[in-house]
Structure 1
Amino acid sequence: MYFLSILAGASLAASAAIGFDKRQSGVPQYFQTTPEVFAGPTPTGVPAFLAETNPAPFPSTTYIPPQPLETQTPIKGAPANGNIYHLHGQLSHYFPNPDGLGVNEYSLPKGSNISQVHVLHRHGSRYPTATPPTVDKLLNTTVKWKASGQLAFLNDWTYKLGQQILTPVGKQELFDSGALHQYLYGHLYPHDGSKIIARSTTQDRMTQSAEYFLAGFFGLQWTNNATLELIIEEPNFNNTLAGYMNCNNSNLAPGESGNTAEAEWYTIYLADALKRLQGMIDPPDILNVTDLYNFQSLCAYETVALGYSDFCGLFTYEEWEGYEYSVDINFAGNNAFQSPTGRAVGIGYVQEIRARLQHHLITSAEGQLNTTLDGMSSTFPLNQSLYFDFSHDTNIMGILTAFGITQFQPFLSAQAITPGRWLQVSHLEPFGARLDIEIIKTPRPVPADRAADYADSGDPTTYVHFVLNQRTLPLGFSYGECGNRADGWCEIGAFLDATAGLFDEADYEFACFGNYSAVPYGQITNGVPLKSS
């Protein structure tokens, strides 16, 4: 159950099916970006027409840059500078983490240098993965209904969204991120004419996200600077950038307690909205609370796809805070520490980071590692200073869990919003989210309190620095070996010691393929299944 070679049967059959001739092209399948193999669904939606459909401008403070999205929707109860578009969880258009993660940001002391960076990047804004059932109810119902007031737009509303592929602003998010990373780390690109290997998956939005990022980083001729390696994203294929594809239980009831918790919570926070909005449609019982929850998701999806959505103004600011929290508990139960497969889904990428830092290929391993690719220096290079990997929101949440970032471990109630929580998905996994793992070399140790640039004496030291959506993720909060550092860094030896036992802790084989029952949300606390004593 551990390893399915991408060079074996299914892969070669698929290559043959599209007429791919390795002998003629000389390009291995895993470096082939066109035609796309295993692209997944790719139906597009109706092109946006915001110049014609935009009812703005509204006098409001909910505007967020950058354009072209229209976000000046008046929201009842919104505080000054309150922004519902930062409350859309994993469906939020990218914005840097506004609150930080508990430590201050520090510049590098003079004489230090960043020698390497590993960028783990989510794809950009996309269409929904599937059409919400509410859409079929509104468009195909045999019940004759009529809406009024704020819901009057539904009388003429049509569904205009595609499925799964990037929206225009999703492409912009990745291009902009590539340009930003060029400013941050462009000096790390080798100037000897060699190319780097970047990795993504075969899904269309994943491939295009990588390409737009690389275009932003290098320019339109990025293929002169990088080779894009595509790893098959299909069930039963090992792929650390989509770890759930070879982790059966993550897609079954044992790994989905977050869905139950989410539904429990939205029944509570949308109770008033249900009464209010049912009064605007006849017959009122055509709408239920699940429909309203889907309305909130449609607000997010239509905004990033069409530029504006009438659904956004239907809800109060407090109800949008409730929506954000519903996403938080969903991720907690399905993908993080309250999930039995939380660690298992992300553990393969943790193993790859450790292998890179220890400069060895992976030729035999347990878990979801693709040892065909990770066992070759041509596909798993160890000498790069720039690494770019493209993944999904839930997979990155699994990676953070597999790393044992216990800052995101505390239980989140499904009955009321937990204040002061660190697991806030809009801050961790918006569209275009990125985790930059910097390797920093210093001529002497840097004091933990940052009261001085360097200790008075000591040897050259290497540190690991996690930057999540442009804010430091403090490793000392999770790893005692790192110490309580004001800058959140961790000495590389301490980091490797702290992460050495994480594969065993993930209990990959049992978590993903074991025979165990689902348990109520909240009973699991460490991202692994419960075992009877």
Structure 2
Amino acid sequence: MLSSVLIAILPILGTSANPVEKRWSHAPDVGATTSDVFPPTGTKVNSDLFPPESIVGYPQGTPTGLEAAAIQTAPVYAYNSDPSSEFPLKNVGTEDGIDESTFDMLRSWGNLSPWYSVPSSYYGLDSASPLAPESCSITQLHLLYRHGARYPTAGALPAQFAASLHNATVNGTWDAWGELDFLNTWTYKLGAELLSPFGRLQNFELGVSYRNSYGYLLNNFTEQGTLPVFRTESQDRMVKTAENFAAGFFGVPEYLDQVNIEIMVEAPGVNDTGAPYDTCTNANVAARGGIGGIVSNAFATTAWNSTVDRLNSQVSGLKFTGNDILAMLQLCAYETNSLGYSAFCKLFTQEDFQQFEYYFDLSFWYNNGFGSPTSAAQGLGLLQEFVARFEQTPLSSYDSTTNSTFDTSSTYFPLNQSIYADATHEVVVADVLAALNLTAVFGETPLDLNKRGEYTFKSSQVVPWATHLTVQVMECSEYQPTKQVRFMVNDAVIPLNYDGCPSDPNGLCAFDTVVSALKNRIDEIDFDYACFGN
């Protein structure tokens, strides 16, 4: 990280154009962590003075209509693909002023990018659409989705950078000018790990989108006289993720009594398919000391050499490193996602942001993707649950991160739902893609360790904020057999290369063929060795 350099004697330069003329003009709390508190301590809503709807009454007309079925009936699909903006975030552009119509900065932040629709053509299915193919009727939806944008993890690079800057302010003398002038008054305004307002919006909008597309599947629950069970983890952001998704899907306050939200404990040593790293010991070995961490950190030391030189020429008393550039790039992403705007973004060029994305491509591909020795094992539990739901058969073995307390219970792990929705983390989505054996789509070619290249695995497309894996089960009258299935990642239909799957322009494969391939895949994954072996 940046180091404070104590300067005893400074040259006095006589020209008023001298960029360091206003030395040490920064505020004393530069880099300090700042926060606001709301609601005020000791306050709560006064339901006597402000009674709820149920007390006030007078709801006026409330007739319901038919459930939406846009995934079946719409002539075109509503893609999330506007490259010009990501309302309500402010895209301030790049340091080199690249045209936003040809380069979108927000899509170059790896897993810190807001999710966007990826065209199916990216994976070779030029004519495929998320809409139900002609002659097909979608009968079941399986959704695995990530939480929306959040504050950084406690103690991560952004907070470290702020602490170093604050220490330099307290212990030394430094100054910044030019592009870095804002650092003289900058403070660290980010909390830790909570969903940001934009993150809440992302999950709410995802819920709205899926209600518009698949709302008609709720009729199955009405026929059965049951309510859906949607699952999430116990972390605050995960609970709020499921609640915001449910609020978008069912409405407010309707979601409170129209869906069962199952909260699974996320804690070390507790089996939870949505947080497998808590029981897979080697997950931490791979992430912290394995090739993924080594490769991405080595890449960061040299990826921004020219940018290090440029920014170091606009500061005195400090010396930035490649790690500091990485921290500032992360601050660009986190501040924009959390505060709506960041002054850090304008420090960096298109090349800087492309290197930033590739840093995350390397990290995820080798830590939680197809280059990791533990990713498939971590995704095994959810894979087993997928198959159990497909076959409507309870799990018979618990040799992964599945939880027998829940997964043997029809209450907590129902097998007859037409809609399943599980909230999780992006690393788990990547683990599940590996467990699903989608190597031919995302990971057949290892990423180059030394320089950026072009690969089908792109972290902003696979693991962004609110990323989602969608599995559609359908009946297709013009196919034999008629029961078909397909997978989508962020609206991109992906080809299924399992044995027995034909090359289909819509990405379809026979349901029984896919289930058989997934059961074989389960047998291939050695959870004990991958998670606890040497």
Bucket of the pairwise TM-score, normalised by the shorter protein: 0.7 to 0.9
Q: Which moved more, 1:120-129 or 1:216-225?
A: 216-225
Match of 2:449 in 1: 414
Match of 2:180 in 1: 151
Letter of the 1:262 counterpart: S
Q: Is 1:175 matched with 2:204?
A: yes
Residues 93, 355 of structure 1: alpha-carbon distance in 2 compared, 3 angstrom cutoff: same
Shift of 1:111: 4.1
From 388, 401, 405, the equivalent of 1:368 is 401
Tell me the SS of whatever aligns to 2:142.
Answer: strand
Deviation string, structure 1 residues 86-106 (Cα, Å, up to 9, x no partner):
000100122222563221314
Correspondence list, 1:117-132, <5 A: 117-131=141-155, 132=157
Tell me the SS of whatever aligns to 1:369.
Answer: coil
Shift of 1:242: 1.0
Contact 1:363 1:374 (C-alpha < 8 Å) held by counterparts? no
User: What is the RMSD computed on CA atoms of the aligned residues?
Assistant: 2.0
The alignment covers a number of residue pairs equal to: 443
Letter of the 1:282 counterpart: S
Tell me the SS of whatever aligns to 1:161.
Answer: coil
Q: Is 1:469 matched with 2:490?
A: yes
Match of 2:230 in 1: 198
Residues 345, 253 of structure 1: alpha-carbon distance in 2 compared, 3 angstrom cutoff: closer
From 278, 302, 315, the equivalent of 2:312 is 278
Match of 1:320 in 2: 353
Contact 1:194 1:225 (C-alpha < 8 Å) held by counterparts? no
Shift of 1:465: 1.1
Tell me the SS of whatever aligns to 2:449.
Answer: coil
Deviation string, structure 1 residues 268-309 (Cα, Å, up to 9, x no partner):
220110111111111242x11101111001110000111100
Residues 241, 257 of structure 1: alpha-carbon distance in 2 compared, 3 angstrom cutoff: same
Contact 1:63 1:70 (C-alpha < 8 Å) held by counterparts? no
Letter of the 1:86 counterpart: R
Shift of 1:385: 0.1
Match of 2:70 in 1: none
Correspondence list, 1:5-24, <5 A: none
Contact 2:380 2:435 (C-alpha < 8 Å) held by counterparts? yes
From 204, 211, 229, the equivalent of 2:243 is 211
Deviation string, structure 1 residues 296-349 (Cα, Å, up to 9, x no partner):
011100001111001111111011000001000000111112111111111110
Q: Is 1:227 matched with 2:260?
A: yes
Contact 1:77 1:318 (C-alpha < 8 Å) held by counterparts? no
Deviation string, structure 1 residues 338-382 (Cα, Å, up to 9, x no partner):
111111111110010001111111253211111110101001101
Contact 1:73 1:313 (C-alpha < 8 Å) held by counterparts? yes
Shift of 1:423: 0.7
Match of 2:12 in 1: none
Q: Which runs of 5+ in 1 are unaligned?
A: 1-42, 49-61, 446-457, 517-533
Q: Which moved more, 1:215-224 or 1:168-177?
A: 215-224
Q: Is 1:490 matched with 2:509?
A: yes
Match of 1:138 in 2: 165
Alpha-carbon distance in structure 1 between the residues aligned to 2:358 and 2:303: 10
Contact 1:475 1:490 (C-alpha < 8 Å) held by counterparts? yes
Residues 400, 63 of structure 1: alpha-carbon distance in 2 compared, 3 angstrom cutoff: closer
Correspondence list, 1:49-448, <5 A: 64-76=84-96, 78-79=98-99, 81=101, 82-98=103-119, 100-104=122-126, 105-106=128-129, 107-131=131-155, 132=157, 133-141=160-168, 142-189=171-218, 190-192=221-223, 193-220=225-252, 221-253=254-286, 256-285=290-319, 287-406=320-439, 407-409=441-443, 410-419=445-454, 421-445=455-479
Letter of the 2:447 counterpart: L
Alpha-carbon distance in structure 2 between the residues aligned to 1:108 and 1:310: 43
Contact 2:370 2:434 (C-alpha < 8 Å) held by counterparts? yes
Tell me the SS of whatever aligns to 1:481.
Answer: coil
Alpha-carbon distance in structure 1 between the residues aligned to 2:396 and 2:408: 5
Contact 2:92 2:345 (C-alpha < 8 Å) held by counterparts? no
Q: Which moved more, 1:502-511 or 1:96-105?
A: 96-105
Tell me the SS of whatever aligns to 1:480.
Answer: coil
Shift of 1:74: 4.1
Q: Percent identity?
A: 34
Alpha-carbon distance in structure 2 between the residues aligned to 1:311 and 1:319: 12
Tell me the SS of whatever aligns to 1:367.
Answer: coil
TM-score, length-scaled by structure 2: 0.80
Shift of 1:140: 2.1
Letter of the 1:247 counterpart: C
Letter of the 1:100 counterpart: Y
TM superposition outliers: structure 1 runs of 4+ over 6 Å: none
Tell me the SS of whatever aligns to 2:181.
Answer: helix
Letter of the 1:263 counterpart: N
Tell me the SS of whatever aligns to 1:388.
Answer: strand
Alpha-carbon distance in structure 2 between the residues aligned to 1:44 and 1:386: 42
Tell me the SS of whatever aligns to 1:353.
Answer: helix
Alpha-carbon distance in structure 2 between the residues aligned to 1:200 and 1:45: 28
Residues 411, 111 of structure 1: alpha-carbon distance in 2 compared, 3 angstrom cutoff: closer
Residues 468, 45 of structure 1: alpha-carbon distance in 2 compared, 3 angstrom cutoff: farther
Q: Which runs of 5+ in 2 are unaligned?
A: 1-32, 39-81
Match of 2:10 in 1: none
Tell me the SS of whatever aligns to 2:275.
Answer: helix
TM-score, length-scaled by structure 1: 0.80
Alpha-carbon distance in structure 2 between the residues aligned to 1:253 and 1:94: 26
Shift of 1:253: 4.9
Shift of 1:500: 1.6
Contact 2:94 2:347 (C-alpha < 8 Å) held by counterparts? no
Shift of 1:85: 0.7
Alpha-carbon distance in structure 2 between the residues aligned to 1:415 and 1:265: 7
Alpha-carbon distance in structure 2 between the residues aligned to 1:80 and 1:70: 12
Contact 1:45 1:163 (C-alpha < 8 Å) held by counterparts? no
Alpha-carbon distance in structure 2 between the residues aligned to 1:291 and 1:72: 21
Residues 183, 47 of structure 1: alpha-carbon distance in 2 compared, 3 angstrom cutoff: farther
Q: Is 1:507 matched with 2:526?
A: yes
Alpha-carbon distance in structure 1 between the residues aligned to 2:368 and 2:100: 33
Tell me the SS of whatever aligns to 1:475.
Answer: coil
